[in-house]
Amino acid sequence: MPTLYGFHAVSARLRHAPSSVQEVFYDATRRDKRMQAFLDKAVSQGVKLTAADEKRLSSLSGHGRHQGVVAVADEVVLNHNLYDVLDSAGSSGLFLVLDSITDPHNLGACLRVADGAGAHAVIAPKDRACGITPVVAKVASGALETVPYITVTNLARTLMEMAESGVRLVGAAGEATATIYDVDSRASTAWVLGAEGEGLRRLTREKCDELVRIPMAGSVESLNVSVASSLCLYESVRQRTHAKA
């Protein structure tokens, strides 16, 4: 049975799917306000609470960065049908496509950004992507409960299907002439990003409607993918907010 750890991840699950939480283990030596507020919330949801020492908490979470809170919970599956998500998003869809992102910290951060920007889904290939792990859930800080993470067998084919559904595919590439600020992303848009250094794979790149770059004025050649994701997604947010003004 999957485990979640850390205040953000476990609290998010208690908010969105409390019945899925089977048991919460907590550090009884912590008597601060944050822990007490968390325990009060868990009690109000009728969740089983079990005091545990550091050794057991670390064993359950896999390491010591659990903040004194570990939950054993059933897996909660969001709407992972891409076509249903596309239909529900309509003409204002906002998507993040990640090509070859294998680091769980990067994936968790990207999911957190996607949640903040109101993205409808994060999409990645099954064979060249990080799976959902406790580390991803911890870094995502609850975003796994709200943003569908959809893995697909053939990313190139999926991009074609998204394009046929009216989604504009904008790929990030350092050598592109246009920048993210030159793209009109007020209509349904998918930002397509690759791993830092490697970038987008050839087939992924070819399926994009256009390639853009993030302007870099300093000596650093590229940004971490989660940082790049935030810039791209929030540029769409900015454009859409201004369009409504």
Q: What is the pLDDT of residues 165-211, one digit of tens each?
A: 999 999 999 899 999 999 999 999 999 999 877 889 999 999 999 99
- Type of residue at 240: R
Q: What are 218's two structure tokens?
A: 């300093």
What are the backbone dihedrals phi and psi of residue 140, each rounded to the nearest 5 degrees, phi first? -70, -20
68: nearest Cα among 82, 53, 80: 53
118: nearest Cα among 29, 197, 233, 238: 233
The CATH architecture one would assign to domain 82-244 is: 3-Layer(aba) Sandwich (3.40)
**pLDDT digits 0-9 by tens, 69-92:** 999 988 766 557 888 888 888 889
- Whether 3-73 and 82-244 share one fold: the answer is no
Give the residues across from 172 on adjacent strands: 212
For the chain, what is the mean pLDDT?
89
Give the residues across from 213 on adjacent strands: 179
Q: Name the residue ranges covered by the structural domains of the chain.
A: 3-73, 82-244
65 pLDDT higher than 90: no
CA atoms within 13 A on the CB side of 228: 31
The CATH architecture one would assign to domain 3-73 is: 2-Layer Sandwich (3.30)
What pLDDT score does 245 carry? Answer: 58
The whole-model pTM stands at 0.74
Instruction: Give the full edge-to-edge strand order of the sheet including 49-52.
Output: 3-5, 69-73, 21-27, 49-52
Share in percent of the chain as helix, strand, coil (round to 5): 45, 20, 35
Residues near 130 by beta carbon (within 8 Å), at least 6 away in sequence: 101, 102, 103, 104, 106, 107, 124, 136
Q: Where are the alpha helices (DSSP H) in the chain?
A: 7-16, 33-44, 54-61, 82-89, 104-117, 134-140, 155-164, 202-207, 225-244
